[in-house]
Amino acid sequence: MSTLEAHNHISPDSGKPTVLHPNFNPKIRNWNPTDPIREEITPPKDRAHFADPDKKRLLSVATATDLTEGIGTLLEGVQLSQLDGEQLDDLALLVAERGVVFLRAQDLTTETQVKLFEHYGILDKHPAQKDAQHVIIKGSAGDWRQDAAYTPWPQAGWHADTSFEVNPPSYSLLRMEAHPEVGGDTAWVSQYGLFDALSPTYQKLFESLHAVHTSRLQYDTILDLWGVGPNRPPIDTHHPAVRTHPVTRLKAWNVNEGFVTGFAELKKVESDKLLDFANYHIHSADDQLVRWKWDVGSVAMWDNRAVIHRVIPGRYQQGSRRGVRTTVFGEKPFLDPNSETRDERERRVTK
């Protein structure tokens, strides 16, 4: 059971736990990470570059159904374990274009999932992950609104996986091994769509900025709430607030609630106000959202460069939700000013 240091210190006035600064929390103050901060790498060429533009090799054995206009596709009639390399490349392109692809009743095991995902690049290792091959995802059954009074990191916040890394992940795949009948859904929002939804003036503003992605808030929370020691020291990384996807060449918003604490070029009050807007923009993006109801054997594969996501907290029984996630390194985020938005491309193509 997760515990917070604040729960060990009760105020005699309110009868509620105190809020402790991380420097006064011995679990955080005394932890010494074992691994160094990462250096930038050049990952292998994205497998979507090798795909058939029409994805014929994949769609000859599977049926694809788009779940919303701008994000999410259900793939049926196929087992991932049976796809060859060319079909896996087509899947990567489908994920890059649609943001997230779902499959049900998959026969993967952890071992075969890891082997399959090695096709997409170098497997990443989460800061709290002891096994270099995969990480266990459980979801939140606690009162995250209450925990937010005592933890600096928005546990249920919208995020792209470890976007603070100098090489943030490209593709992630989550396979569910156990799941409650009700609750524990995951939702994804299109970062192509989030950028499209901005006014031209705000698009230009965000294109001129670097978002400050930090692991510091998660670092403190991992130690305090999860009781796990992060492998690496906390870092702050400045990434373009708008990035160009290396495969689709589309502009995508690169701001998220979970790891972005401000904008490097702005003064503090300016940054705080713009971040307030950014979080509002994400939370109001129902027209750019897809929500997935899991069952055992379900799989979701998504592109962290094109979407952000969050698990929907619930009151399901602790320990009844368990998934295995594999992730691969992506390129260092960049903005090509000559790239285009998804809306601009649609208008150009349909002329």
- Residue-wise pLDDT for 294-310, tens only, equals 999 999 999 999 999 99
The CA-based dihedral angle spanning residues 241, 244, 250, 256, taken in that order and rounded to the nearest 10 degrees: -30
**Is residue 98 within 8 Å of residue 72, measured between CB atoms?**
yes
Is the pLDDT confidence value at 108 over 70? yes
**Higher-scoring residue by pLDDT: 13, 170:** 170
| Amino acid in position 12 | P
Give CA–CA dist 272/261, Å, rounded. Answer: 8
Is the pLDDT confidence value at 97 over 90? yes
Maximum mean pLDDT: which of 140-144, 216-220, 319-323: 216-220
User: pLDDT band for position 21 (50/70/90)?
Assistant: confident
Mean pLDDT, to the nearest integer, of 92-118?
98
Is the pLDDT confidence value at 156 over 90? no
Mean pLDDT is lowest, of 139-153, 162-176, 326-340, for: 139-153
Is the pLDDT confidence value at 337 over 70? yes
User: pLDDT band for position 84 (50/70/90)?
Assistant: very high
Task: Report the share of the chain in percent with pLDDT over 70.
Answer: 99
**Which ranges of the chain would DSSP assign to H, the alpha helix?**
26-29, 56-59, 85-98, 110-117, 144-147, 191-196, 200-207, 216-221, 268-283, 342-349
Is the pLDDT confidence value at 1 over 70? no
Mean pLDDT, to the nearest integer, of 162-176?
97
Q: Residues 6 or more apart from 127 whose CB is under 8 A from it?
A: 162, 215, 218, 219, 222, 230, 231, 232
What's the token pair of residue 238?
């400045």
How many Cα neighbours within 13 Å face the side chain of 286? 1
Is the pLDDT confidence value at 204 over 90? yes
Mean pLDDT, to the nearest integer, of 255-277?
97
First-residue to last-residue Cα distance in the chain: 58
What confidence score (pLDDT) does residue 23 get?
85
**Is residue 306 within 8 Å of residue 210, measured between CB atoms?**
no
Mean pLDDT, to the nearest integer, of 319-343?
95
**Is residue 308 within 8 Å of residue 282, measured between CB atoms?**
yes
Cα 41 to Cα 122, 168, 211: the distances in Å are 10, 11, 21
Is the pLDDT confidence value at 346 over 90? yes
Give CA–CA dist 88/70, Å, rounded. Answer: 22
User: pLDDT band for position 332 (50/70/90)?
Assistant: very high
- Number of Cβ within a 10 Å radius of residue 332: 17
**Higher-scoring residue by pLDDT: 37, 20:** 37
User: pLDDT band for position 22 (50/70/90)?
Assistant: confident
Give CA–CA dist 245/303, Å, rounded. Answer: 10
- Number of Cβ within a 10 Å radius of residue 190: 28
What confidence score (pLDDT) does residue 225 get?
85
- Going by their DSSP bridges, the two strands 260-263 and 100-103 should be labelled as unpaired
**Is residue 297 within 8 Å of residue 163, measured between CB atoms?**
no
Cα 247 to Cα 96, 99, 162, 165, 209: the distances in Å are 7, 12, 20, 20, 22
Mean pLDDT is lowest, of 13-22, 25-34, 137-146, 294-303, for: 137-146
Q: What are phi and psi of 81, to 5 degrees?
A: -65, -20
- Average confidence score pLDDT of the chain: 94
- Residue 318: its H or E element: none
Is the pLDDT confidence value at 327 over 80? yes
Mean pLDDT, to the nearest integer, of 123-141?
84
User: pLDDT band for position 293 (50/70/90)?
Assistant: very high
User: pLDDT band for position 2 (50/70/90)?
Assistant: low
Cα 181 to Cα 20, 101, 295, 296: the distances in Å are 37, 21, 8, 10
Query: In whole angstroms, what separates CA 52 from the centre of its chain?
Result: 26
